[in-house]
Structure 1
Amino acid sequence: MTTATYDRFRANLETYFDRTAARAWEQLTSDAPVSGVRATVRAGRTRMRNTLLSWLPSDMTGLRLLDAGCGTGALAVAAAERGADVVAIDVAGSLVGIAAERAPRGLSIDWRVGDMLDPALGQFDHIVAMDSLIHYKPSDIIAVLHQLAGKTRGTIGFTFAPQTPLLMAMLGAGRLFPRGDRSPAILPVRDVALRKMIGDALPHARIGRDERISASFYTSHAMEVLTQ
């Protein structure tokens, strides 16, 4: 069961990406030239994607992966190229459309528009949620992880926005921009507190690898939860 705040923020994200930012994200996630700020974000996201992919098996033949918040699909494609059967889902239909158009033919990817917590998605061997939980408060992140843990026989690799002085300063500066130009708020989380919350909410799981990526205007922390 989702919370009211999770549902509200999910709706905000859908509106933002489908009505405001689809073209910007299409450019950011391509090879097209971008500004210096966006170039650092692109580089940071590439490093984070490679980190999460490095935590998955190199041969994923016969394994089922959920890309929860797939965006324009780069991670889903990379996993499918390793042999995985991928379900790639995002609330933003515009981004899923870009992903499906870009993806090479012949890969086993089921592109979907909707909620990553949809029970109809079934069971998975691995789940990845890259930068799809950074807009949610800690209690909502834990609620999502609890539900995702019930969907996977293996690992959940997810990212959150770490509460660092630099990130807090950048977010503070971002509030100077007109509201119409802003993306949905990123909610920084203290990693120590999040670890404790995961331990309390998922007593049968354990935390595996973690890595923080800081690339100027991109800061994100990856964490691996082992459900078995």
Structure 2
Amino acid sequence: MATATYDRYRGNLETYFDRTAAKAWEQLTSDAPVSGIRATVRAGRTEMRNTLLSWLPADMHGVRLLDAGCGTGALAVEAALRGAEVVAIDVAGSLVAIGRDRAPAGLNIDWRVGDMLDPALGHFDHVVAMDSLIHYKADDIVAAVTRLAGNTRGSIALTFAPRTPLLMAMLGMGRLFPRADKSPAILPVRDRHLRDLIGQAMPQARIGRDRRISASFYTSHALEVMTR
């Protein structure tokens, strides 16, 4: 069961993306010109997405993937082009609509608006949660990953905001996004602490690959959890 803080933060994210930042994120995730700050965020997100995709099979025919927090769907589309059956879900209906409209015809993508932890979504071979857990505390991240692991046969690739001096300084100055965006707080967590919590909550799992990407105003750490 999701924690009370998970539910509260999920509601904040839904409000932010649907009422405040839909247009900004539509532009950020397109090829349209953006400011210098957003350009570094776009470049960092592209590098992170390519990293997570590289951790998935090259041939994904017969593979069922959950894109947990799909945003505007770039990763979902790439996985579907490899042959995957993709469930792409996000709390922000405005972003899901953008992803659905952008996706090429004929891809096997089930676009959903809702909670990525919903057990009704079924079982998956792989789950990717790119930058969808960076607004949660470590305990909530681990609770979410544990829930996802119960329905995942292979791997969960997630990203979190690493607690680094540079990131903490930028967050302190409110420089990750222009102040008018009023974006939900990013909650940095310590890498070792998160790994320890995952090990305690999921003794049957093991940590696989990891990679940290720092591109000026974008900092995120990818971690692979093998569920079996």
Going from structure 1 to structure 2, the CA distance change for 1:32 and 1:146 (only over 3 Å counts) comes to same
1:59-208 equivalences in 2 (<5 Å): 59-174=59-174, 181-208=181-208
Change (3 A) 1:139 1:82: same
TM-score, normalised on structure 1?
A: 0.98
* Overall identity of the aligned pairs, in %: 80
- Tell me which amino acid in the other structure corresponds to 1:207: I
Distance in 2, Cα, partners of 1:36 & 1:179: 15
Length-normalised TM-score, structure 2: 0.98
Structure 1's consecutive aligned runs of 4 or more residues displaced over 3 angstroms after TM superposition are: 175-181
Matched, 1:4 2:23: no
The unaligned stretches of length 5 or more in structure 2 are none
Deviation at 1:181, TM superposition (A): 3.4
- Structure-2 change in CA distance of 1:120 and 1:22 (3 Å): same
Structure 1 residue 216 displacement after superposition: 0.1
Matched residues in 2 for 1:180 and 1:165: separation?
24
Whether the 8 Å contact between 2:210 and 2:221 is mirrored in structure 1 is yes
Root mean square deviation of aligned Cα: 1.4
Evaluate the alpha carbon distance shift between residue 179 and residue 25 of structure 1 in structure 2; reply closer, same or farther with a 3 A threshold: closer
CA contact (8 A) 1:87 1:111 kept: yes
Give, in whole Å, the separation in 1 of the partners of 2:142 and 2:215: 26
Distance 1:205 1:96 in 2: 31
Contact 2:37 2:177 in 1 (8 A): no
Number of aligned residue pairs: give it: 228
8 Å Cα contact 1:174/1:182 also seen in 2: no
* Residue of structure 2 in register with 1:216 after alignment: 216
177-186 vs 46-55, greater mean Cα deviation:
177-186
Deviation at 1:180, TM superposition (A): 5.5
Change (3 A) 1:45 1:93: same
- Residue in 2 that maps onto 1:26: 26
Distance 1:47 1:178, change over 3 A: closer
CA deviation string 1:8-46 (max 9, x = no partner): 000000000000000000000000000000000000000
Unaligned runs of 5+ in 1: none
Instruction: For 2:227 and 2:120, locate their aligned partners in 1 and report how far apart those are by CA, in whole Å.
Output: 20
Indicate conservation of the 8 Å contact 1:124/1:153, yes or no. yes
SS at 2:21's partner residue?
A: helix
